[in-house]
Amino acid sequence: MMNKVVVTGYGVLSPLGNEMDTMWEHLIAGCSGVGPITRFDVTDQQVKIAAELKDFVPTDYLPRKEVRRMDPCSHYAMAAAMKAAEHAKLDVNRLDRDRFGVSFGTGQGGMVSLTEQLEIFNAKGPRRVSPFCVPMMIANMPAGHVGIHFGARGPNITLTTACAASAHAIGEASRILQRGDADVMISGGTEAGLVPISLAGFSAMKALSTRNDEPEKASRPFDKDRDGFVIGEGAAMVILETLDHARERGAKIYGELLGYGLSSDGYHITAPPEDGDGGVRSMREALRDAGIAPSAVDCINAHGTSTPTGDVAESRAIETVFGDHAWRLPITATKSMTGHLLGAAGALESVISLLSIETGIIPPTINLDMPGEDCRLDYVPKVARESEVNVVLTNSFGFGGQNASLIWGRFTP
């Protein structure tokens, strides 16, 4: 019999705040974390807005020497993991370190370091490149640093499935726990990909909103005037444990991972199929894995990126999977406020889903003035909603047609 997987803690760094309470207050108030880019000069860029991480000081969490040897994506991961471990009251000295693991997702890895070292290489030559260039830029190092910090010697993996990365990381962490290969996993995602080349690249493929004059209104999932997503940055982590282990150490349990589904579109490098077939199959697989009927889902935290094709495909997929229940099902698109954290999005939206279960509040989809064509469902427009929430499904769909759906539930002893 497979182990039950429960959540005993979580931590976030988000464009809406770096503490859980602050982020949640801003979410349910319908605040936007999007604004003008301050990281670098955007004079020549077509897109000049993003959902930046604000007021984050890495030396609040790490010694200055370590900070210099890590990319910001690792800074964010370390801080969020520390917050999650503290929230879970996890005493690592009492853990079996060989059964304590890490599973992370990221879309781009150490893009800040790569960009900086390329500038040094071009200006000063190869001998001036940092010996820490490769450890700073490779995508698995956030998980590596967290494993080193906590002395976690169990499974340690990184997934880079674009915008589905951290959802896949959480799902795979649950599989590791279910089959008995670990007792505790720190899992989630981190992204610090707001650099000039990434902004220009996403802009060149016309994936981003160009609503530069009204940044707080730029991310507008399911709205008829949506014109692309807004890049966000940050990290989110959850502490997952087997139920037996959590009970043994007397941990508070915040929820249960009921189901995990994944699929491939097998269709296109960036666009989903019009009928949302890949999303249909990942959601159905998650429901099958959870052993629940579609009618048992109380809320969906949608992938909802604010792209013209993606939002329609997801809406059609939800209609297909949930049938008549789709018309009664609240669907929130929190990227309207946080922006799109790319590889960290699934983890952040998982934490938000758990908070909805805990508080009975569904955050709104802001900027939804008029639903677009074929966006016909209840997207909780503009104002948060109080509701009994016991089960939440969250979707994450990545470039390359790589999809993940997670189902979170209220824990009942």
133 among known catalytic residues: no
Catalytic residue among 73, 87, 303, 375: 303
Q: For residue 344, give the nearest of 128, 114, 168, 91 by alpha carbon.
A: 168
Containing 308, the helix (H) or strand (E) segment is: helix 308-322
224: helix, strand or coil: coil
β-strands 49-50, 100-105 pairing: unpaired
Task: Say if residues 393 and 286 touch (Cβ distance below 8 Å).
Answer: yes
β-strands 255-264, 402-409 pairing: antiparallel
What is the C-alpha to C-alpha distance for residues 5 and 354, in angstroms, rounded to an integer? 14
163 among known catalytic residues: yes
Kindly tell me the sign of the dihedral angle through the C-alpha atoms of 312, 354, 21, 195.
negative
Instruction: Report the side by side order of strands in the sheet with 5-13.
Output: 156-159, 100-105, 184-191, 234-242, 5-13, 255-264, 402-409, 391-398, 299-301, 331-332
Catalytic residue among 26, 87, 168, 340: 340
What is the C-alpha to C-alpha distance for residues 345 and 236, in angstroms, rounded to an integer? 8
Task: Say if residues 350 and 309 touch (Cβ distance below 8 Å).
Answer: no
Catalytic residue among 73, 133, 163, 375: 163
26 among known catalytic residues: no
Residues annotated as catalytic (active site), given as ranges: 163, 303, 340
